[in-house]
Amino acid sequence: MSIIIDHLTHEYETGTAMAVKAISDVSLQIPDGQFVGLIGHTGSGKSSLIQHLNGLLKPTSGTVYVGGEDIFDKDYDKKKLRSRVGLVFQYPEHQLFEADVFTDVCFGPKNLGLEQKEVELRAYDALKKVGLEDDAFYVSPFDLSGGQKRRVAIAGVLAMKPEVLILDEPTAGLDPAGREEILGLIAGMQKETGMTIILVSHSMEDVANYVDRIIVMNKGSVMLDGSPKEVFSHVEQLEEAGLAAPEACYIMRDLQKAGFDLPGDVTRIEEAADAILNVFGSGV
Amino acid sequence: MNIIDLKKVVYEYFRRDDEGNVTGITTAVDHVDLSVKPGDFIAILGHNGSGKSTLAKHLNAILYPSEGTVWVDGMDTTEEDKLMQIRQTTGMVFQNPDNQIIAQIVEEDVGFGPENLGVPTKKIWERVEESLKAVGMYEFRKKSPNRLSGGQKQRVSIAGVLAMHPKCIVLDEPTAMLDPAGRREVIRAARALNDVEKITVILITHYMEEVIYADHVYVMDHGSVKMEGSPREVFSRVDELSALHLTVPQVTLLADRLKKSGLPIKSGILTRDELTAELVRIKSGR
């Protein structure tokens, strides 16, 4: 499902001396099935932006079209929107509350007013999608590991069968293996279902490795927008905005300065390894 | 004398069901020996659930060992009358800055700790000033913490601990919620405390890049220490770390890939400069 953000502005505490523009005049088009990385320093407006996409925040001006429909139109069915656009918050495992994993995942679809059988089918399907083992279905979510809990929380959103999935820093606080597990899962799902995915992240490596397109927010506006290779070629600009490029970019730049003839658009470690081996000739 | 000494520390807790019946026992920390010299920068790595945070909570008597002993600056943490002194010796900074900041103004937040210790007012202000300067937040002293970035808030949290004049600071994943600039700021502040103020730092993290300057690294798994050594020693064991759900810094990872593909690179590369120097050496040697 496509998303069009049309001249969106959001101001907090409008009309007071404290008024702050969290988002100022942002226009973006995200076509159906795109895997987008959204980056920006703390307070750059990314969280405010994604909260508009499923109607949790109302714009001060401008609007958002999801699947061609204006979601802030007064006749628009907000309930439909919430099942269409799934939002996984930061630390979603803090929102687990049921006595066992399966019941927790059923909560969302149950609230959509579906039949019990359909609810359970969806919950089962979602838990399978996130790769949770069957024997973990009926344990308390609080007995699971951090990575497992987070997968259960994501399953809770998937069970609503959203067509757009937005994840706000899904890997924060996870160990490296947990991070890869979650990202691998999201990327796999994206390939399989063609879902539109927006991944908010503070890890430049994560976005470099997985997404098709990166949108960089700074001071409430879109600062850069393009493929990972394009965006990460603006190292200085990213640093000024409190961000960075993936380590692979910095390594390649250092090596270029040292006189190695290497391509300038490398963003991933595997690519860097290939490029360096290429310079040394494969016969080493 | 060591500032921290752990001898065969075990921590067990009961798992209970809804009615409070015990359904099992989990050993979160399993016979850990660990000693930290004053002025050291120590890093503790380990996957989620490996017991790092539980261990950290033993270092200022938030938790007590089920077996074994924890000494903080020579004091056994189970001695109740030493509790205040122990908590003053080891300060803790946690993951989420929003859970640690309580006052409306930065300088008042930093002054909260020493005030509770009964430090005279004039001295409190001196401590607030020096602590905020140490973490580079002095110019923000009159600001509301709500208006700060994550990295700035976390540095205020560190200043708050610093104002209590601890000999040792434990940072439990202080950068997990921060953006790249925030991570850099916090790690720089932690290193400065160690270098300049000679405060012992124990850093728990999932970011491998943050520990390359540590004096000693411990890697935990299932409650016990599985690997330890200098960052260079630990990070040269790429495959072992990966089996423990961890990784190595990106530069080290790249060097390892190149080595496995046949380039004669030495192991234990930790920085970009080292990698560049090594590749230049190989190139000129041909």
> pLDDT by residue (tens digit) across A107-135?
999 988 899 999 999 999 999 988 888 88
Nearest-CA distance A258 → chain B (Å):
7
List, for residues A50-86, the tens digit of each pLDDT value: 999 989 999 999 999 999 999 999 999 988 898 899 9
How confident is the model over B50-73, as a mean pLDDT? 94
Q: Find all residues with CB under 8 Å of A270, minimum gap 6, and list them.
A: B257
List, for residues A221-230, the tens digit of each pLDDT value: 999 999 999 9
- The B residues from 236 to 255 touching A (CB cutoff 8 Å) are 242, 245-247, 249-251, 253-254
Please report, rounded to a whole number, the percentage of residues in chain A having pLDDT higher than 70: 99
Residue A19: count of CB within 10 angstroms of its CB: 11
Task: Give the whole-angstrom CA distance, residue B225 versus residue B43.
Answer: 12
Look at B280 and A248 and tell me if their CB atoms are within 8 Å. no
CB-based contact B62:B86 (threshold 8 Å): no
Look at A260 and B283 and tell me if their CB atoms are within 8 Å. yes
List, for residues B179-205, the tens digit of each pLDDT value: 888 899 899 999 999 998 899 999 999
Q: Measured at the alpha carbon of residue A79, what is the angle toward residues A74 and A80, in degrees to the nearest 5?
A: 95
How confident is the model over A260-274, as a mean pLDDT? 92
Provide the pLDDT confidence category of residue B59 given band limits of 50, 70 and 90: very high
Nearest-CA distance A68 → chain B (Å):
33
Of residues A99 and B10, more confidently modeled: B10
Instruction: For residue B149, give both structure tokens.
Output: 């970035």
- The B residues from 189 to 228 touching A (CB cutoff 8 Å) are 206, 208-209
How confident is the model over B125-146, as a mean pLDDT? 92
Tell me the ipTM for this assembly. 0.82
Q: Does residue B275 surpass a pLDDT of 90?
A: yes
Provide the residue type at B10 as one letter: V
Please report, rounded to a whole number, the percentage of residues in chain B having pLDDT higher than 70: 100
How confident is the model over B117-121, as a mean pLDDT? 90
pLDDT at residue number B48: 84
Look at B180 and A242 and tell me if their CB atoms are within 8 Å. yes
Report the first-to-last Cα separation within chain A, whole angstroms.
Answer: 49
Q: Does residue A283 surpass a pLDDT of 70?
A: no
List, for residues A135-173, the tens digit of each pLDDT value: 889 998 888 877 788 899 999 999 999 999 999 999 888
Nearest-CA distance A16 → chain B (Å):
16
- The B residues from 5 to 24 touching A (CB cutoff 8 Å) are 15, 18
Q: What is the mean pLDDT of chain A?
A: 91
Q: Does residue A282 surpass a pLDDT of 70?
A: no
Provide the pLDDT confidence category of residue A284 given band limits of 50, 70 and 90: very low
Task: Give the whole-angstrom CA distance, residue B38 versus residue A113.
Answer: 61
pLDDT at residue number B125: 94
**Three-state DSSP state, B104:** coil
Q: Find all residues with CB under 8 Å of A34, minimum gap 6, and list them.
A: A196, A197, A212, A213
pLDDT at residue number B286: 57
Partner residue facing B254 (CB), from A143, A146, A269 = A269
Decide the pairing of beta strands B216-221 and A20-30.
unpaired
CB-based contact B238:B252 (threshold 8 Å): yes
Per CATH, the number for B4-248 is 3.40.50.300
Nearest-CA distance B259 → chain A (Å):
10
How confident is the model over B50-64, as a mean pLDDT? 93
Task: Give the whole-angstrom CA distance, residue A244 versus residue B104.
Answer: 31
Look at B46 and A247 and tell me if their CB atoms are within 8 Å. no
**Three-state DSSP state, A155:** helix
Provide the pLDDT confidence category of residue A92 given band limits of 50, 70 and 90: confident
Q: Does residue A246 surpass a pLDDT of 60?
A: yes
Look at A202 and B180 and tell me if their CB atoms are within 8 Å. yes
Task: Give the whole-angstrom CA distance, residue A253 versus residue B167.
Answer: 40
How confident is the model over A180-194, as a mean pLDDT? 90
Q: Domains of chain A (ranges plus CATH)?
A: 3-224 (3.40.50.300)
User: Whole-prediction pTM value?
Assistant: 0.85
